[in-house]
Amino acid sequence: MSNKFNDKNILILGGSGFVGSNLLKRFIELSQNITATYHTNEPKIKDSNIKWQKIDLTKPDLYKGLMKNQDYVFICAAYTKGASVIINSPMDLVTQNLVMNSYILENCYKYKVNKVIFLSSSVVYPEIEEVIDESYSFKGNPPEVYYPVGWMKRYTELLSKTYSTKIKNGFSSLIIRPSNLYGPHDNFHPEESHVIPSLIRRVVKKEIPFKIWGNGEDSRDFIYVDDFIDGLIDASTLEDQFLDMNLTTSQNHSINEILEILFEIEDFYPEIQYDISKPQTIKKRYLSNNKAKNLIDYKIKHNIHSGLQKTLDWYKANKL
């Protein structure tokens, strides 16, 4: 793998975010030619091989010095918030992401980037009970609660595919759809965090009463970030002109299961108060990772208990 990236110029957009930080931790072992961007969040990974640039990716006149001579561009930059924003004000996540992604892809083409990797999302998939593989990405509509965000992600995927397959001398592109990521460097902010960092923060703080939205039976495919990064880097070495791929564990766990593990780790056993009056997202979805297994021999190294233990330990060491 090192031969693939060692002499290449690597650009990681959103390098100070959750995925970007973890991707940089791995890439400093693979390449000496890394550029990473940040906007409002200060960089977390410092290394002599990383050239940091502070940039607002919604400003089109700032790209020339960024994209020129880049071989691989990883689009980890995104405006993201927690479930409450997705439910109550979803358009907050649409416009800025559409503008930013459009400019990024336009300039990747303009400055002749070789390969673009876009981190999409499983929200592009419809709400169905079957196991979901990549063929479902444009079947029907995304679930109602994810409709604006899902179509925003779909639009960027279509734009990537257009540059790769419909335009002369376009870049090759890889669309990665992770399941629910968690791990070190995640966002633990009370108003912005996703479900696992939110639960970890509250369990560590011994919150009483311990309230959760819904009945705790909603289930998701939770993937530890190191396992995701392994798959992301391996998939990036494939030579397809256009490829989409799920990176998931293909196993679901309910919120109640997650809480049971966290309570055990912290030796904290509060009574849970379920608030079924609060708005909720979809109940469950099952994602296939067969394509990743076939193409990159994808393997999951962390079960849910070990992943939660590592994440909780990191939170206590870095955020308290």
pLDDT at 83: 54
Whether the model pTM is above 0.85 = yes
CA 305 to chain centre: 20
Taking the C-alpha atoms of residue 20 and residue 27, their distance in angstroms, rounded to an integer, is 10
With a cut of 50, list the residues of the chain below it in pLDDT. 1-2
pLDDT at 1: 44
Which residues are CB-contacts of 305 (< 8 A; sequence separation ≥ 6)?
261
What is the DSSP pairing of strand 253-254 with strand 210-213? unpaired
For residue range 123-162, list pLDDT tens digits in order: 999 999 899 999 999 999 999 888 999 999 999 999 999 9
User: What separation in angstroms does the CA of 51 have from each of 60, 66, 139, 176?
Assistant: 20, 11, 41, 25
Taking the C-alpha atoms of residue 162 and residue 207, their distance in angstroms, rounded to an integer, is 49
Say which residue the tokens 């369990």 belong to.
203
Instruction: Report the CATH architecture of 2-181+223-250+286-302.
Output: 3-Layer(aba) Sandwich (3.40)
pLDDT at 192: 79
pLDDT at 214: 87
For residue range 4-37, list pLDDT tens digits in order: 998 999 999 999 999 999 999 999 999 999 999 9
Which pair of structure tokens corresponds to residue 88?
């109550």
